[in-house]
Chains A and B, each alone.
Chain A
Amino acid sequence: MIGFSRVPLLAAGVFASYPGDHSILHPAGPQASNIEWLYWVIFWIVFVVYVVVVLGFMRAGARTYTSADEMLPIMKDEAGDRRASWAVGSAITITVLTLFAVLVMSEITGKKVEGETSKNPVTIQVIGHQWWWEVIYPDPQADQTVTTANEIHVPVGKRVVILTNSADVIHSFWAPSINGKRDLLPGYSSAFWLQIDQPGVYHGQCAEFCGLQHAHMGFSIVAEREDAFSQWKAQQLKPAQDPTELVTVHGRDVFLSHACVMCHTIRGTDAGSRLGPDLTHIASRQMIAAETLPNTPGALAGWIVDPQRIKPGNRMSPNPLQPDDLQALITYLQTLK
C-alpha cells in the first residue's frame, strides 16, 4: 500500500514537463537527446525494480504476518531456507545482469554524447567570473575575436565546442536542454561539445556553488540560423559607434569619468578594463546582470544606481549619479547595439 500510493505521484510528476521549460526532459540537441533516452531507459528499469522489491517485501510481510503481541518462540525452517537460498541467488544474478546492462548503456550513451564532434566547429571560450560569464569567440586574427557576456549565440545545427576556464572560483556551465554540465575550474581548461537543432533561446545557470550570488549567475544560449548568426557576429565585431547627439556624448563622458571605466570595456572608447562584462554591444543583449534583469532603461538605471540591492554581494559598486547624468548614460548605453 505504501509503495503503491507513490506510483501515481511518480508518474504524474515525471510526465508533467511543460513546454518551453528548460528541463533535461526537453532536449534541443543530440547531446541532451541521448541523455534523455538514457534517462528513460534507466528510469523504467529502476521503476520496475522498485515495484518488484516493494511487492516482495509486502508479500513476505503479508505471508507471515501475525498480530500476536506476545513473544513468539524462535523458529527454524530449514526447507524454507533452502528455497530462499535459490530465490536470493537468482535475485542477485538478475541484479548483477541488470547493473551490467545499465553500465553498458551508460557507456554507449557517454561515447555518443562525447562523440558528437567536428573538425570545423564553432569555437566559444566561456570564462566563469563571480557572478557572470565572459564569452569569447576566438579567432587567429586578434581583431576578429568577439568578446561578449552572458548571452551566447550559436548557429543552429552546427557543432559547437565550448572551451571552459574560470577567472576565480569553480563554476559549472549548465543548460539542461542542451547538454550536461561541465565544471569551470581555475587552473584547468577543458572542452565539451554541444549542438542545438531548434532555433530559440535556451536558459542556463551556474550549477557549482560559487559564493554569494550563485543563484544569480544565469546565461542564455540564442540558437539562430546561420545567416542571422553571421550577422550577429559581424555586428559584435564592430567597435562602438561614436555618439552623435548631445545627450549621448554626455552619456559617454559620464561613463568615462565615473567608476564604470574602472571595470568595463567599450571598444572604440578609452574604456578597456576586463574586470566586468564587455559593454561594447550591451544594447544588443536581452538581459543584464547575468540574466537577473531585463535589459530595459528602467532596470538598467536601477542596476547602475544600486546593484547591491538587486544582487547583494556582487562586485559592482553603487553609483549615485545625478538624474540627468544617469539619464544620459542610459541613453548612451542604449545606442550600443
Chain B
Amino acid sequence: MAISEPVVVPQSGAADRLARTWAQPRGFWGWFQNVHHTAIGVRFMVTSFIFFLLGGVLAAMMRWQLVRPEHNAIGPDLYNQLFTVHGSTMIFLFAVPMMFQGFGVYVVPHMCGTRNIAFPRLNAFSYYIYVVGALLLWVGLFLKTGADAGWFAYVPLSGPEFTPGKRSDFWAQMITFTEVSALGVAICITTTILRYRAPGMTLNRMPILLWEKLVTSIMVIFAMPSVMVVSSMLLMDRTINTQFFNPSVGGDVLLYQHLFWFFGHPEVYIIFLPATAIVSTVVAVFARRHIFGYVPIVTSVVATGFLGFSVWVHHMFATGLPQMSASFFTAASLMIVIPTAVQFYCWMATIWHGRLQLKLPMLWIFGFFFVFLIGGLSGVMLASVPLDWQVHDTFFVVAHFHYVLIGGALFPMFGGMYFWIPKITGRMMNDRLGKIHFWLFFVGFNLTFFTMHFLGLHGMPRRVYTYTPEMRWGALNLLATIGVVFMTAGILVFIANFFQSKATGRFAGPNPWGAGSLEWATPSPPPHYNFLELPTVNGREALWEAEPNQPIVGGVREDIPEVLVTNTLDSEPEYRDELPGPSIWPFLTAIAVSIAFIWSIFSPWGIAYGAIPVVITLIGWLWPRGHSPSPRVPEPALEARWIR
C-alpha cells in the first residue's frame, strides 16, 4: 500500500518546543489575539455558515409570501429587503467567505506543508473586518433600514433620489468591508502558495486545489477593486453629492452596471472554482487513483480565471447593446463552457478508470454532477442573446443561478464538509444521517428550483412580491415552496449530525480516507505547529508518492515561529522567515477601520477623523518586535541543512 500513514509521534522535546512556540493565547482576550490559520479559517467557516442559515430563513420567508397568488403575508417593503439581504448575504457573507476565505485559509497552509499562513495578522484582521461588515447589513435589516435595492443595487434606484435614508449606504459599506476582507485573504493565500510550499512541491506538482486557490486569489485581487470602486462611487453620490450616476446632469447609469458586473461575473467563478477543486480532490480519493488529466484540469482552471473577466456583459444584454458587442460576449460566454466541460470529462475519466467507492463525500459530488450540469446547460441558453432577451430577469434565471450556485458550490461544499470535518474536529460524521441529509436536500432543491424554469418561461419576472391568479403561476409556486421544507429538514439533519459527531463521533485518525495531500499527514485536529517535521514532496499526491524514508526539512528553528520560504517555480528552499505571533492589534485595527467606514456613511468627516485611530492602531500593529528578524538572504552554508 502506497499510503504513508504518518507516525504518531510521542511528545518529544521537539513537539513540546513547537507547541510552546506556536501556542495561541487562551481565554476571552486570547480569542481576539489568535492569528493561527486553523482558528481563523474555522471562524470564517462557522460565521459564514451562520449567515447561510440566516439567508436561508429569508429565502423561506420569500417562498412563503409567494406560496399562492395575492398572498398577504409580507408587504412589498419587507419583501424587497428580504431578497436584497438574501442575495447579498448568500454571495458576500456566505459563499465567498466560506468557499474562498474560510476553506482556503484553513487548508492551504496544510496543503503547502507549512506552519502558518503568510501575513497571519492581516489574515486575522480580514476576519474581524468581515464580521463587522456582515453585522452592519443585518443590524440594518433588524433596524428596518435593510437594503432594498437588490443585491446588485442598480442606480438610479439605489441612488439618493429614489432610496433616501441609509438603506443603500449600509449595503454599499457592507461591500467595502467584505471586499477588504477578501482582498486581505487573497494576498495571504497567494503569498502562502507561491512562497511557502514544501520543498519538492514544484508548480507542476501542486495539488489542483492549490492551483485553484491561486487562480481564485488572483481573480479576487483583480475583481474586487471594481466593486469597491462602484460601491464607493454610489456612496459618494449619496453622501457628498457627487453625480457619477445621475443621468440628468450627465452621469451614467450603465457605467454602474459595467463596473458591477466586471466584478459580478468573476465572482461566480470565485465561488465556483473552489468547488471544482473540492470535486477534483474528492473524486481522486474515492476513485482510488490520481486525477485523470492534471494538466488539462489546471489549464482549465487558469483559462476560467482569464475568461471569467470577459463575459460580464451577458448580464446586460437587455440594455440594448450594439449587436457587435453582444456577439462578442455571447461567444465569450459560450467559450467559458469549454474549460468546465474539460473538467467534467476528466472527472468522468477518473471514475471510469478508477475504483469508485461511493462514500458520503462522493455521494455529494455525484449530486453535483447531476445538478450543476442543469445550471451549466441553462447557462448555454442564457448566453444566446435572443433567448436572454426573453428569459433575462425572470424566474428562469433564478432557477439557472441557483442550479449553478447551489449545484455548483453548495453540493461540493457539503461533500467537502463531510470530507474535511474529520480533519478539523478529529471525529467522523455519521454516514446514515449524511445520506438522509443528501436525499432530503437533493429532492427539496430540485422541487424548488426546477419548477422555477417553467415559471420563467411562462412570464414570471423576478423580484415581484405578488402575482395575480389570472397568471396561473400558483401551482408551480406552491410546489417550489414545498421544496423548502425538504431542504430545511436536510440542513437541520446536517447540523444535528455535526454536533453529534463533535460529541460522540468515531475518532478519525490522521487520514481516514486514505487521501494523498499533505493536510492528511497532520494529526486530526492538527496542532498549532501543523507538522512536527516539515515535509518534502515527491509528486502530485504527496502522501501517495512518499518514499518509505521521505526526507524532511531540517534547520528551521523551533524556538521562534519560523517557516521555510521556497522559490515560486521549483519550491527550492531560499530562506527562513519568522512569522508574527499572536497580537491584539489586528482586532483593534479592524475596530478602528470599522468606525471610520461606518462613520463615513453618516458624515464624510468620518474618514478624516476616523483615520486617526486607524493610524494609531497601525503603529501598534507594526511596532518593531525587539529583536532582529531572521536574515532574508539565501544562506548557502545552511542549505545543506534544509533537507535532511
Question: How far, in whole Å, are A169 and B152 apart by their CA atoms in the complex?
Answer: 14
Q: What distance in Å separates the Cβ of A124 from its nearest Cβ neighbour in chain B?
A: 16
- Name the distance in Å between A38's Cβ and chain B's nearest Cβ: 6
State the Cβ distance, B64 to closest chain A Cβ, in Å. Answer: 16
Instruction: Tell me the smallest distance from the CB of A183 to a CB of chain B, in Å.
Output: 5
- Say yes or no: A214 contacts B446, CB within 8 Å: no
Instruction: Using known A-B contacts A64-B287, A186-B253, determine if residue A42 contacts B459 with beta carbons closer than 8 Å.
Output: no
- For window 438-464 of B, CB contacts with A under 8 Å fall at 442, 446, 450-451, 453-454, 457-459, 461-464
Report yes or no: B292 in contact with A207, Cβ–Cβ below 8 A.
no
Asked if A21 and B381 make an inter-chain contact with CB atoms under 8 angstroms apart, the answer reads no
Residues of A with C-beta under 8 A to B345: 87-88, 91-92
Which residues of chain B come closer than 8 Å to A92, judged between CB atoms? 338, 341-342, 345
- A99 close to B335 (CB less than 8 A): yes
Q: Which of B326, B337, B541 contacts A110 (CB 8 A)?
A: B326
Q: Pick the contact of B320 from A23, A34, A188, A210 — CB < 8 Å?
A: A188
Contact B459 A22 (CB under 8 A): yes
Q: Which residues of A contact B338 (CB under 8 A)?
A: 92, 95-96, 99
Binding site for A on B (CB under 8 A): 1-3, 75-77, 80, 149-150, 154, 156-157, 161-162, 247-248, 251-254, 287-290, 292-293, 296, 318-320, 323, 326-327, 330-331, 334-335, 337-338, 341-342, 344-346, 348-349, 351-358, 366-367, 369-370, 373-374, 377-378, 380-381, 383-394, 442, 446, 450-451, 453-454, 457-459, 461-467, 471-472, 513-514, 516, 541, 544
Q: Which of A35, A57, A164 contacts B390 (CB 8 A)?
A: A35
Contact with B along A269-294 (1 / 0, CB 8 A): 00000000000000000000000000
Nearest chain A residue, comparing its CB with the CB of B513: A71
What class of interface size applies to chain A in its complex with B?
A: 35 or more
Contacts of A259 in B (CB 8 A): none
Within 8 A of B (CB), among A165-219: 168-170, 172, 174, 176, 179-183, 185-188, 190, 192, 203, 205-215
Shortest CB–CB separation between residue A46 and chain B, in angstroms?
4
Q: Is the CB of A170 within 8 A of B157?
A: yes
Most buried by A among B154, B341, B353: B353
Contact B458 A21 (CB under 8 A): yes
CB–CB B318/A182 < 8 A: yes
Whether B377 lies near A24 (C-beta < 8 A) is no
Q: Establish whether residues B334 and A57, one from each chain, have CB atoms under 8 Å apart when the complex forms.
A: no
The verdict on A109 contacting chain B, using a C-beta distance below 8 Å, is: yes
> Which residues does chain B contribute within 8 Å of A207, judged by CB atoms?
318, 392-394, 461-462
Q: What mask results when residues 4 to 35 of chain A are scored 1 for a CB within 8 Å of chain B, else 0? A: 00100110011011100111110000001011
What are 12 A-B pairs with beta-carbon distances under 8 A?
A10-B450, A35-B386, A53-B348, A64-B356, A81-B353, A84-B349, A88-B296, A102-B334, A105-B384, A182-B389, A185-B253, A207-B461
Given contacts A6-B450, A181-B390, contact A312 B374 (CB under 8 A): no
Please name all residues of chain B whose beta carbon is closer than 8 Å to the beta carbon of A88 when the two chains form the complex: 292-293, 296, 342, 345-346, 349
**Out of B358, B387, B454, which one reaches A106, CB within 8 Å?**
B387
Q: For B463, what are the chain A residues with a Cβ–Cβ distance below 8 Å?
A: 209, 214
What 12 additional pairs, Cβ within 8 angstroms, besides A174-B461, A211-B80?
A13-B453, A21-B472, A22-B471, A25-B458, A60-B356, A95-B338, A106-B385, A185-B253, A207-B318, A208-B318, A209-B393, A215-B467
Q: Are A57 and B366 in contact (CB-based, < 8 A)?
A: yes
A55-80 to B contact mask, C-beta < 8 Å, 1/0: 01101110111101101111111001
Residues of B within 8 A of A76 (CB): 289-290
- Find out whether the CB atom of A42 lies under 8 angstroms from the CB atom of B381: yes
A99 touches B380 (CB 8 A): yes
Decide: B388 and A180 in contact? CB cutoff 8 A. Answer: yes
A185/B390 contact (C-beta < 8 A), A174-B461, A210-B157 known: no
Residues of B contacting A107 in the complex (Cβ-Cβ under 8 angstroms): 327, 330
Beta-carbon contact of B162 and A215 below 8 Å: no
Residues of chain B lying within 8 A (CB to CB) of residue A174:
393, 459, 461
In the complex, how many angstroms separate the beta carbon of A208 from the nearest chain B beta carbon?
6
Chain B: which residue is nearest A26 at the CB level?
Answer: B458
Contact check, A18 vs B472: say whether CB atoms are below 8 A apart.
yes
Contacts of A110 in B (CB 8 A): 323, 326-327, 385-386
**Contact between A46 and B352, CB atoms less than 8 A apart:** no
**A284 CB, nearest partner CB in chain B, Å:** 21
| B459, A106: Cβ atoms closer than 8 Å | no
Bound-complex Cα distance A85 to B353 (A): 11
Q: How many A-B contacts are there with CB distance less than 8 Å?
A: 295
Q: Is the CB of B389 within 8 A of A75?
A: no
- Among residues of A, the one whose C-beta sits closest to the C-beta of B352 is A60
State whether A60 touches B2 (Cβ < 8 A).
no
Cα distance, A111 to B440, chains bound together (Å): 45
4 nearest A-B pairs in the assembled complex, by CB-CB distance: A180-B389, A187-B247, A215-B464, A71-B514
In the bound complex, how far is the Cα of B290 from the Cα of A24, in angstroms?
A: 47
Report B-chain residues with C-beta under 8 Å of the C-beta of A3: 370
A246 CB within 8 Å of chain B: no
Docked Cα-Cα span, A183 to B472, in Å, equals 25
Q: Which residue of chain A is the closest to B340 with respect to CB atoms?
A: A95
Specify which chain A residues have a CB less than 8 angstroms from the CB of B384 in the assembled complex: 38, 42, 102, 105-106, 109
Within the complex, the shortest CB–CB distance from B570 to chain A, in Å, comes to 25
Q: Is A221 an interface residue (CB 8 A)?
A: no
Query: Chain A residues near B288 (CB, 8 Å)?
Result: 72-75
Chain A neighbourhood of B367, CB < 8 A: 2
B450-A9 in contact (CB<8A): yes
Closest-by-CB residue of B relative to A206 is B461
For B464, the chain A residues whose CB sits under 8 A away are 214-215
Contact partner of B3 (CB less than 8 A), chosen from A74, A80, A212, is: A74
- A2, A16, A61, A211: the one contacting B162 at CB < 8 Å is A211
Q: How far is the CA of A6 from the CA of B467 in the complex (A)?
A: 28
Question: Smallest CB–CB gap between A330 and chain B, Å?
Answer: 23
Chain B hits for A54, CB < 8 A: 369-370, 373
C-alpha gap A24/B397 in the complex (Å)? 14
Whether the Cβ atoms of B2 and A74 lie closer than 8 Å is yes
Given contacts A72-B288, A313-B76, contact A183 B319 (CB under 8 A): yes
Bound CA–CA A17/B392 (angstroms) = 19
B155 to chain A: closest CB distance in Å? 8
User: Is the pair A190, B320 in contact by a Cβ cutoff of 8 Å?
Assistant: yes
CA distance A10 to B464 in the complex (A): 25
Q: Are A65 and B454 in contact (CB under 8 A)?
A: no
- A49 interfacial contact with B, CB 8 Å: yes
Shortest CB distance B377–A (Å): 4
- Beta-carbon nearest neighbor of B157 in chain A: A169
Asked if B354 contacts A64 (CB within 8 A), the reply is yes
Most buried by A among B150, B331, B348: B348
Interchain CA distance A24-B396 in the complex, whole Å: 11
Instruction: Check if A74 sits within 8 Å of B80, measured CB to CB.
Output: no
A-chain residues with CB within 8 Å of residue B342 when the two chains form the complex: 88, 92
List CB contacts (< 8 Å) of A99-115 with chain B.
Answer: 99, 102-103, 105-107, 109-111, 113-114
